[in-house]
Amino acid sequence: MPRLTPKLLLCALFCATLPELTAGSLPEPAALQKAVDTAHATFKNEPGGANASYIPCLAKVPSKLFGVVIVTVDGKVYQAGDVDYAFAIESVSKPFTAALVMNESGPQAILKQIGVEPTGMPFNSVMAVELEPARSVNPFVNAGAMASVSLVKAKNPQEKWAKILAHYSKFAGEPLAMSDEVYQSEASCNQHNRAIAELLFSYHRLYADPLETCDIYTRQCSVLVTAKQLAVMGATLANGGVNPITQERCLDAASVPKLLAVMMMAGFYDESGAWAWKSGLPAKTGVGGGIVSIVPGKMAIVGFSPPLDAAGNSVRGASAIHQIVAELNLNLFNPR
Ligand code: GLU
């Protein structure tokens, strides 16, 4: 047994306080449930926006659906509305594939081989690829997301896809599956994404076969999640990379702040600035109507509802999250 020197004692004390430092202090359970209920009641009849229609099967999802969930870093769930409806994860998948790349190749792979700059342009912009020196731009737009897929290590496309799906499932704490209907629908009209993949490849910023990569990217967008599962995935990021329900580590702790920093600047496409201005939180949005927002050390907040604004972000989902953030004072830039 080592002798208890003052230095060792200090170190033991520091380590003992570490979990508390990462967990942060949470609002009372009643306040969390009230915030979720109020946001749901306030915005459930908000009329704006329209379902994504450029992917045919997303247009058919009932527009009335609306779910709001908070999952805290201690694994508690606060929910209201349609939180068990399984919808297409779409672009909310992007941080989780980037996380896999970070685990396999280190966070520097994202910085060096993809990029971390926001574009201020739409999620599928070809102009951004042409204008940005990094080409693939960042892992939260289609170009960078396909670059992430291309960097996942695997012997063949089947193994790569299986790895990505297993990784998402680990984040969710339960097995997730792809919707063949969504996949077929997207694959029938993803010419634009295929063009981006080929363009990136021509610039040596895609690191595997372009069409194969675009196909796996289309599959990852077609994974179904419920608002509750998505909130657990987000809470895993809020919890320093450890799933708060299963206690499994899904992302290296050192990579979490880097992923969230890029999410803050690029997670809302060309509305990322306005989102950060209003909420002060990183968030990722998808054209399936899901938004997950991360409050580091505390919780994830998910708003799900299919009607989108012009930039592709769920109208009710965004309103609900903004209201919860204001009510619980969760903006990261507010002194507390
Ligand atoms: N699969 C969609 C696409 O690539 C995802 C877009 C999104 O959710 O923003 O166009």
Ligand 1 pocket, 313 CB below 6 A? no
What helix, strand, coil percent values describe the chain, rounded to 5? Answer: 50, 10, 35
Please tell me the residue having the least CA distance from ligand 1 atom 2.
Answer: 90
Q: Residue-wise pLDDT tens for the chain (336 aa)?
A: 444 454 444 444 444 444 333 446 899 999 999 999 999 999 999 999 999 999 999 999 999 999 999 999 999 999 999 999 999 999 999 999 999 999 999 999 999 999 999 988 889 999 999 998 888 889 999 999 999 999 999 999 999 999 999 999 999 999 999 999 999 999 999 999 999 999 999 999 999 999 999 999 999 999 999 999 999 999 999 999 999 999 999 999 999 999 999 999 999 989 999 999 999 999 999 999 999 999 999 999 999 999 999 989 999 999 999 999 999 999 999 986
Q: How far apart are the C-alpha atoms of 102 and 258, rounded to whole Å? A: 10
Ligand 1 pocket, 239 CB below 6 A? no
DSSP H helical ranges for 48-176? 94-105, 108-113, 126-131, 142-151, 157-172
Of ligand 1's listed atoms, the one at least distance from the Cα of 286 is: 8
Ligand 1: centre distance to CA 278 (Å): 24
Ligand 1 pocket, 118 CB below 6 A? no
- What is the bridge-based pairing of β-strands 223-225 and 283-285? unpaired
Of ligand 1's listed atoms, the one at least distance from the Cα of 90 is: 8
Structure tokens at 199: 């363009």
DSSP notation for 283-312: EEE-TTSEEEEEETTTEEEEEE-S-B-TTS
Positive or negative, the Cα torsion across 90, 91, 92, 95?
Answer: positive
Of ligand 1's listed atoms, the one at least distance from the Cα of 192 is: 10
Domains, in order of start, for the chain: 27-328 (3.40.710.10)
Residues written for the chain: 336
